[in-house]
Structure 1
Amino acid sequence: MRCEAGITTRLALVVVIVDTYGDLKARNRGRIERGAKRVRAVFAGEVVADTTRPLLVWEVPYFPTYYLPREDVRTDLFVPTGRTRRSRQRGVGTVSHLRVGDKEAVDAVTEYPDSEVEILRDHVRLAWSAMDTWFEEDEEVYTHPRDPYVRVDVLASSRHVRVVVDGVTVAETRSPRLLFETNLPVRYYLPKIDVRLDLLEPSDTITHCPYKGQAEYWSVRVNGKLVEDLVWTYRAPLRESEPIAGYVAFPQERAEVYVDGVLDRG
């Protein structure tokens, strides 16, 4: 729970005020806020944007994207395409490539110079995945900007957690670490000593999370069947998730996870 002073401060920055207690989609529809972090985007070895005045724009309900003041972006690297893209909320956007030397990020730049949302008119959207690296202050951030309304808590627990795959118990512990992340199911991270490591096969899959860092995966082979990328771990998680370092998780959506004897369906 945030204190009243914190809520007052946050609302002062909200461009579109919505019902805090509505569902997630309604809550974030049209939300735009001023950010306070220094944000940098790097492409082809060049810092192509560097600002301390970013906007957080919720184009989708689940996480924001950055819009950066035009004067803090290397607009000399823009290559206009003459094409546009339309947004119901933001209007008609002009599309450009971003070119550094012989490298080009195709359609990576969108601007809304005539948007009905006035604050967006002098801002630039750089496609997140088109950039090589993004930084918030001096820390690299992955996948998308961190949502200021998302919290991650990792708690030690003595609950009995048992994981079953195709009728086989592949993990069982009474010392899990429970990860609570806003708007997501509880994840149960188990110590490796309590996992049937003989059933795990390494995978080449790697994913990133802006709150936890880089995840590595294993597949599970039971009853002659291979269940691909079922298990993940964070060897060196980001600061707020450090307690899960080296622990492994099985998603309730793909395995049977029993907590104190009750099946958790996520």
Structure 2
Amino acid sequence: MGLSWQQGPLAPGAVGRFLVPGPMPERMLFAEPLRRRMRVRFGDAWIADSENVVLLHEPGRYPVAYFPLGDIDPDALHRSEHTTRHRDLGPTSWYTVGSGTRSTQRAAWQHTELPAHAPELEGGIAFAWRAMDAFYEEDERIVGHAADSYHRVDIRRTSRHLVVRSGDRIVADTTVPLVLYESGFAPRWYVPRADVDESALTPVEGQTFCPYKGLASYYDIAGARRAAWSYEDAWTEVRRVSGMVSFEPDEVEVRLDGVRLRLEPGQNVVSHGVDRNLDLDETTVVRKI
């Protein structure tokens, strides 16, 4: 979720509200110092290296990192004739990014006539995430988008009784699930494999990628498509749910302590996609380097 997407406080579908007497602006942007060293790799070179990155949170978008011009290799940026206009930040110039024999058009941008209330972005250059080969914080690769410090994942052990049914068939029955709380999402309940009737699960092709958890594999249950999923090799931060199975309450019947769970509004996931020059196998190990 973070501040500005999914159901965050600055997102169009915010689940909460600011307790103020008057109406809030329709759109609010939030800029803050990242306070982490970030580097950008393109081709065989580091083209940006900064400890003064500014992170922009814009409604409905993932966070975007803006680098001071002085922390970017001057030979890597080539201003193009292409310009656009940002609805809040004004005229925007685009750059071709090059290194060695490689170049990519419209791979970076700069807001050139910022309003007076947005001085934090003055002179800042943003790189299109998937146009670059890699982004790093210190020596660890960051995938999906700039790290959002407002996105949090907590996992808790519980003894509540969770039962999953497909028609008359019990697919899962456990009193030792784990509940995963993730910013912007309703709680997700994960069941140990020992408490799942795996003969009811039909693996399907296709995986999705989460920058916070890793690669998810999916299962059909009877006629319900992608009714369950599992992070077979979850990243270190969420290792406790690795290999466990979670179920979609709008596809199969999921009851917690006898109460049927329902899919809450605004829970549709916006796909991140896999970064350029990063294949699916690599995503399982990139955060372990």
If the length of structure 1 is used for normalisation, what is the TM-score?
0.80
**Cα distance 1:102–1:197, how it changes in 2: closer, same or farther (>3 A)?**
farther
1:119 deviates by 2.1
Task: Determine the structure 1 residue equivalent to 2:283.
Answer: none
Alpha-carbon contact 1:113-1:120 (below 8 Å) kept: no
Contact kept? 1:96, 1:108, Cα under 8 Å: yes
Q: CA separation of 1:165/1:58 partners in 2, compared to 1, >3 Å: closer, same or farther?
A: farther
- Which residues in structure 2 correspond to 1:174-189 (within 5 Å)? 174-189=175-190
> What amino acid sits opposite 2:29 in the alignment?
G
Change (3 A) 1:41 1:106: same
* TM-fit CA distance, 1:153: 0.9
Change in 2 beyond 3 A, CA 1:255/1:72: farther
**Cα distance, 1:96 vs structure 2:** 1.6
SS at match of 1:60: coil
Equivalent residue number for residue 99 of structure 2: 100
> Is the partner of 1:188 in helix, strand or coil?
strand
Instruction: Name the counterpart of 1:241.
Output: 238
Q: Which residue of 2 aligns with 1:210?
A: 211
Amino acid of the residue matched to residue 111 of structure 1? Q
* Structure 1, unpaired ranges of 5+: 1-19
Question: For residue 22 of structure 1, what is the aligned residue in structure 2?
Answer: 18
Classify the secondary structure of the residue corresponding to 1:240.
Answer: helix
The CA deviation at 1:220 is 1.3
Q: Which moved more, 1:153-162 or 1:73-82?
A: 73-82
Q: SS in structure 2 opposite 1:32?
A: strand
Query: 1:63 offset after TM fit, Å?
Result: 4.1
Which secondary structure does the structure 1 equivalent of 2:228 belong to? strand
Decide whether aligned partners of structure 1 residues 155 and 101 sit closer, same or farther in structure 2, where only a CA change above 3 A counts: same
- Cα drift, residue 28 of structure 1: 8.1
Q: Secondary structure at the match of 2:70?
A: helix
Query: Paired residue for 2:111?
Result: 112
Quote how far apart the aligned CAs of 1:66 are.
Answer: 1.0
Report 1:148-163 matches (<5 A): 148-163=149-164
Which protein has the bigger strand share? 1
Aligned CA distance change for structure 1 residues 165 and 33 (closer, same or farther; 3 Å): farther
2:190–2:245: 8 Å Cα contact kept in structure 1?
yes
Where do residues 1-266 of structure 1 align in structure 2 (5 Å cutoff)?
22=18, 29-61=28-60, 63-116=62-115, 117-165=118-166, 168-212=169-213, 214-222=214-222, 225=223, 227=225, 229-265=226-262, 266=264
Q: CA deviation at 1:58?
A: 0.6
SS in structure 2 opposite 1:243?
helix
| Residues 63, 146 of structure 1: 8 Å contact kept | no
Identity %: 29
SS at match of 1:145: coil
What corresponds to 2:267 in structure 1?
none
Change (3 A) 1:101 1:63: same
- Alpha-carbon distance in structure 2 between the residues aligned to 1:74 and 1:250: 48
* Structure 1 residues 189 and 114: CA distance shift in structure 2, 3 A: same
Paired residue secondary structure (1:241): helix
Q: TM-score, normalised to structure 2's length?
A: 0.74
Rounded to whole Å, the distance in 1 between the matches of 2:108 and 2:142 is 20
| Aligned residues of 2:95 and 2:106 also touching (Cα < 8 A) | yes
Structure 2 residues not aligned, in runs of 5+: 1-15, 265-289
- Aligned CA distance change for structure 1 residues 88 and 238 (closer, same or farther; 3 Å): same
Greater CA deviation, 230-239 or 118-127?
230-239
